[in-house]
Amino acid sequence: MQLRNIAIIAHVDHGKTTLVDQLLRQSGAFRDNQRVAERVMDSNDLEKERGITILAKATSVVWKDTRINIVDTPGHADFGGEVERILNMVDGAIVLVDAAEGPMPQTKFVVAKALKIGLKPIVAINKVDKPDARTTEVINEVFDLFAALDATDEQLDFPILYGSGKQGWMGTSPEADQSAGMAPLFDLVLKHVAQPTVEPGPFRMLATILEANPYLGRVLTGRISSGTLKPNMAIKALSRDGTVIEQGRVSKVLAFRGIERQPVEEAEAGDIVAIAGLTQGTVADTFAALEVTEPLQAQPIDPPTVSMTFTVNDSPLAGTEGDKVTSRVIRDRLLKEAEGNVALKIEESADKDSFIVSGRGELQLAILIEVMRREGFELGVSRPRVVFQKNEAGEILEPIEEVVIDVDEEFSGAVVQKMSERKAEMIEMRPSGGNRQRLVFHAPTRGLIGYQNELLTDTKGTAVLNRLFHAYAPYKGEVAGRRNGVLISTDAGEAVAYALWNLEDRGPMMIEPGWKVYQGMIVGEHTRENDLEVNVLKGKKLSNVRAAGKDEAVRLTPPIRMTLEKSIAWIQDDELLEVTPKSIRLRKAILDPNERKKAERAKDAAA
């Protein structure tokens, strides 16, 4: 049977996973009576809840006696490491572009990677049924993007399809006959994407996706570049520099058949398969027959730009809600995560109780924290910090991101002002249809931490922000941070409604009556710049004199709901986030008020 390997790449929310749903349905991968969830490839809980793809996954369909392996990729820049790895497995890419939004920052990122390794793309203009679709302008924007990314003449001569993944059709024009369904796309893949190139020689495969399976152990997915593989065959794992990591036998060879993985007796070069049986080899390692000595070349991965410190939870409430609280358990979990996610970097601190975790962005790290808390972990998490570098002249360099903000015209002035305060430089400003403007900035990553919520407040929730790592550039100077101080609990116990009601003029609260608090815990936001210590346990003094209106119920203003992402962006350098399976609490890093004052005096003296 002939083979084709393709990836579907696009910006977030442009419809990749929905398109894969339709390709599976129309190729007969499902039985007629089979119940199938929407966005079937988004298989883990967080992907279903948030409606985003976090992990790259493979599937396959059969069309006209040809097996097409399809890889669904994430659209968020924070998970770009997933996309960079899997492009090594495929010979072609479908670039999906929203007919209204056009190419966005992540489209630019993944297309640049695809063009660099020589893939010939197919452009599919999706969502042409949208009332604000502008297909002609979008095609021109895609062509300009390809040209700006130094595409070859062959790559610039890309075929174009139009359609709607949701409605399940693709055609050669926006007015094409919809009854053909996805057939034009399947036929174009067979015609335009090359058969996998197979090198002569013994078995070799570069691992690109790693997962842990409760029954099979470590399962590694990759494309076989030469030779054949059978179960029980002896193979070895080679690192990038050619050293042997381990030798072992393949316990299972799994091929992708629809959304299932089925054991096969033999896998040939060019096919994408998953193998089990080895215990140490990981992503970017070469798995090969015993006589092979040279590893396959792996694409270098872009460096991490943001880091956070994960510490053992040392608050007075530690261990009351989670069962994984020791530094050893946290260390093992982080190292296991770094094995399968090459965009993450884990470093141990000198005291062994905290770990510096570096990644591509706040969202990637917030997803990791959310997964860990669901597994029963308790952690203390610091504010995100950017990863600085130094050039040969000793100059400090910081990561700069390309930021694209789509906003209603009336709010564009406020956005430009706030971005300039955060040391951003405007690159472009143009209308994007429907009284909206597209603003493009180059901004330091430091300035963008915590800006998302401020942007939504300034634009009444109408702005859309997209960001992408651009380059390292000289340090831009200090960026203004949070302007307000915090309200800090002076004692431990359960918060009382009467005390919270009396404190309302001091600032909005973040806790409710009955919540457990402790000394040093942040209970609200102060209306002024300084921090204020408050007593949230103080009850109403009762007397035996009753008067009209004395016993009226206290009416409290609803507290600010602090989600995980919001809290990560909101805290300052001297504050921590306490994350447990049931709660997210904000606190000062030093809980004792006297110790805190000493630390502040020492800091001022040093400055």
Long-range contacts of 597-604 (CB under 8 A, 24+ apart): 599/574
User: 540 labelled as ligand-binding?
Assistant: no
The widest CA-to-CA distance across the chain, in whole angstroms, is 97
User: 17 labelled as ligand-binding?
Assistant: yes
Q: What is the CA angle 400-401-407, rounded to 5?
A: 140
User: 403 labelled as ligand-binding?
Assistant: no
User: 15 labelled as ligand-binding?
Assistant: yes
User: 127 labelled as ligand-binding?
Assistant: yes
Phi, psi of 299 (to 5 degrees): -65, 135
For residue 347, which amino acid is it? E
User: 351 labelled as ligand-binding?
Assistant: no
User: 252 labelled as ligand-binding?
Assistant: no
The angle, 0 to 180 degrees and rounded to 10, between the axes of the packed helices 105-116 and 135-148 is 50
Instruction: Please give the C-alpha separations between residue 252 and each of 167, 220, 262, 273, 600, in angstroms, as whole numbers.
Output: 38, 11, 10, 10, 59
Let me know: does 74 contact 47? Beta carbons within 8 Å. no
Instruction: Please give the C-alpha separations between residue 344 and each of 252, 364, 366, in angstroms, as whole numbers.
Output: 28, 9, 13
User: 550 labelled as ligand-binding?
Assistant: no
Q: What is the CA angle 439-445-446, rounded to 5?
A: 120
Q: How far apart are CA 181 and CA 19, in angstroms?
A: 11
Which token pair is 20? Answer: 């894969």
What residue spans of 290-360 are helical by DSSP H? 327-340
User: 243 labelled as ligand-binding?
Assistant: no
For residue 352, which amino acid is it? K
Map residue 214 onto helix, strand or coil: coil
Give the per-residue SS3 of 532-547: EEECCCCCCCCCCCCC
User: 16 labelled as ligand-binding?
Assistant: yes
Q: What is the CA angle 291-220-46, rounded to 5?
A: 165
Instruction: Please give the C-alpha separations between residue 203 and each of 225, 230, 247, in angstroms, as whole numbers.
Output: 7, 10, 14
Q: Which residues are annotated as a binding site for GTP?
A: 13-18, 126-129
Q: Residues at the annotated binding site?
A: 13-18, 126-129
